[in-house]
Structure formats: structure tokens, C-alpha cells
Amino acid sequence: MDVRERTYEEKITEFEARIARGEKIEPGDWMPDEYRKQLIRMIGQHAHSEIVGMLPEGKWIPHAPGFRRKLTLIAKVQDEAGHGQLLYRAAETLGKSREEMLEELLEGKAKYSNVFNYPTPTWADVGMIGWLVDGAAVVNQRMIAKSSYGPYARAMKRICFEESFHIKQGQDLLIKMVYGTEEQKQMAQDALNRWWHPTLMMLGMPDSDSPHLEKLKRWGVKVKTNDELRQEFIDLVVPQLKSVGLNPPDDNLYYDEKTGHWHFTEPDYNELKRVIKGDGPCNKERMEARRKAHEEGRWVRQALAVAKHKREAPAV
């Protein structure tokens, strides 16, 4: 039967049935406008987070102590650029160009992860971003790898693979500090205190405050809820941290034998709302850095476009 002859009701029934069967939706397939819009928004935000996320750690590249740390950190931040590139490409399959998405980011119309609006005052923050932020990202991304949009799900597989290295690098960096001098250990604990709540917030608003959740789940955009992801992350990371003597800053953190989960104090979601709206400690700084790079690089992008045109032009 020709797709064009069918009613919207029929098309969406078939679309939802495909998702229920676990099939992937591919770029040329029919999809509801809202699905397309939600995915462009999500993938775009994800791509922006990778690109903005290069800044807080990138700041420490000039100061990384020793050859190994310096090389590892450059490689890590480079990976984030690669993830951004991959994700912009995935979003482009839905009909929006990278340049458009970047302009929206710089105009403050597009969002990126709250977590990159926090400062990185010490070397230990580099490790904590790897351990916690990348740790939480992998929990989220493993879910997305199972989501319904093919290009996004496939991009996630590769990204998760690289992110799991980043987590190990972060752990390695911090373990060295924890078993180093008193001052080093304190630096590691201070960094944990700084990153704990922003990382918990990074997994999104609580389910009770997620109006689109039901539809996003039905369409396979989200396979798990934010609260489920947060608990999964806590259960994973708390024993890891405790095993090396690092303690999350939560007096009500305990293992609940009955539920088999760690009980924790929810972060302040009003802070999350504020930071996402643009009022976090480093929003301005991050956007200024991105804007500067974008503006200063404009002549290069223009020149390369002209050069490409010249090359492709037929010889006269």
C-alpha cells in the first residue's frame, strides 16, 4: 500500500507498532512531526553539550601534570569534538544543518547540559568530570543506544565505548591523588563535593515534572525515566567512590537492604531550572568562549567554502 494514501491515524499506528516491535526508525521513514522535532532538539542539545563540554576540561590541558596526563587529556577533549561532530551529523539526517544548530546555540535559543556551567578550579575537577559526569552520561547514553531513532542509537554505541575510557581515565587520575599526599586527597574530595549535585541534576528533572515522558517512552525516544537513570547511576557510582575513601556529600546516603538500592537526597531542581535557563556560575563564560571561536573562525570557514568551490569549478 502506498504510504501517501494513508491517513495520519493509520501512519501513526504503523509507526508506533514498528517501535513496539523494536524496529529502528531511519532517516527516510515516515515519522510524526513531533517525533522529528523532539529528536532534533535532543540530539542538538546532546551535540552542543559535547562541544561546550570541551571547555571546562580543556582549560586544564596547559596545566596537565606530566606527559601521560597531558596526552590523555588532549585525546579526551578531542573525543568530545568527535562526538559533537557525529551527533550534529545524526541531527542533520532529520533536516537541520550543523551551522543552523550552532547559530541557535550561540543565540541562546538552544540548550546544552547544565553540568558544563560549573567551574573547574582544580586539577581534580578533570578527574571528577571523567568519573561522575561521563559516568552519568554513559548511563544515559546506554539507554539512548536502545532508543528508536537509528542514526542516534548507532552514534551512541560508539560514543559509549569511548566514554567508558574517559571514566577509567578519570578514576585513574583521582585514585593517584587519593593515595597521594593529604593535600591531594583533600583536593579530590573537594572536587567530589562540587560535582555531586550538578551530576545528579544532569540526568534531568524528576519524573513528576516531566510532562512529555509518557509519549517519549511510547515512541522509544526514552527507554527509561530520569528517576530510573538517576538511581541506576547512584547504585553504580557510590560503591566505586566509597571503595577508595571518597564520600559523596549526602548525610542521608545509605544502602537500603529492602529495595536493594542506595537511598539518596534529591538535588535542588530549582537550581537545575536556573542553570538551564542561563543563570549558572559559568553560562556566560562558556557562551563567550564559543562565540569567540565561532566569530574568529568565520573567515576560515568562508575561505574553505570558496576554495572548495574553486576546486570543483570546471576548468575554463
Residues that bind other proteins (CB under 8 A): 51, 54-55, 58, 61-67, 69-71, 74-75, 77-78, 81-82, 84-85, 88, 123, 173, 176-177, 180-181, 183-184, 289, 292-293, 296-304, 306-308, 310
Amino acid identity of 17? A
Residue 3 or 304: the one with the smaller Cβ distance to other proteins is 304
Residue 18 or 89: the one with the smaller Cβ distance to other proteins is 89
Q: Is 210 left (phi over 0), alpha (psi -120 to 50) or beta?
A: beta
Do residues 90 and 147 make contact, with C-beta atoms less than 8 angstroms apart? no
Q: Name the β-bridge partners of 64.
A: none
Q: Give the nearest distance from C-beta 227 to other proteins in angstroms.
A: 33
Q: Give the nearest distance from C-beta 178 to other proteins in angstroms.
A: 12
Q: Give the nearest distance from C-beta 163 to other proteins in angstroms.
A: 17
Residue 1 or 300: the one with the smaller Cβ distance to other proteins is 300
- Could you count the other beta carbons within 10 Å of the beta carbon of residue 69? 20
Residue 33 or 296: the one with the smaller Cβ distance to other proteins is 296
CA distance linking residue 264 with residue 262, whole number of Å: 6
Residue 82 or 245: the one with the smaller Cβ distance to other proteins is 82
Residue 182 or 256: the one with the smaller Cβ distance to other proteins is 182
Q: Give the nearest distance from C-beta 58 to other proteins in angstroms.
A: 4
Rounded to the nearest angstrom, the gap between the alpha carbon of residue 200 and the centroid of all alpha carbons in its chain is 13
CA distance linking residue 89 with residue 152, whole number of Å: 9
Q: Give the nearest distance from C-beta 233 to other proteins in angstroms.
A: 26
CA distance linking residue 240 with residue 300, whole number of Å: 45
Q: Give the nearest distance from C-beta 259 to other proteins in angstroms.
A: 39
Half-sphere exposure of 150 (CA within 13 A, CB side): 11
Do residues 25 and 18 make contact, with C-beta atoms less than 8 angstroms apart? yes
What would the grid cell of residue 167 be? 571514566
Amino acid identity of 92? E
Q: Give the nearest distance from C-beta 170 to other proteins in angstroms.
A: 14
CA distance linking residue 86 with residue 141, whole number of Å: 14
CA distance linking residue 174 with residue 160, whole number of Å: 21
Residue 131 or 233: the one with the smaller Cβ distance to other proteins is 131
Burial class (CB in 10 A: 0-12, 13-18, 19+), 256: exposed
Residue 3 or 75: the one with the smaller Cβ distance to other proteins is 75
Q: Give the nearest distance from C-beta 65 to other proteins in angstroms.
A: 4
The position carrying cell 586544564 is 60
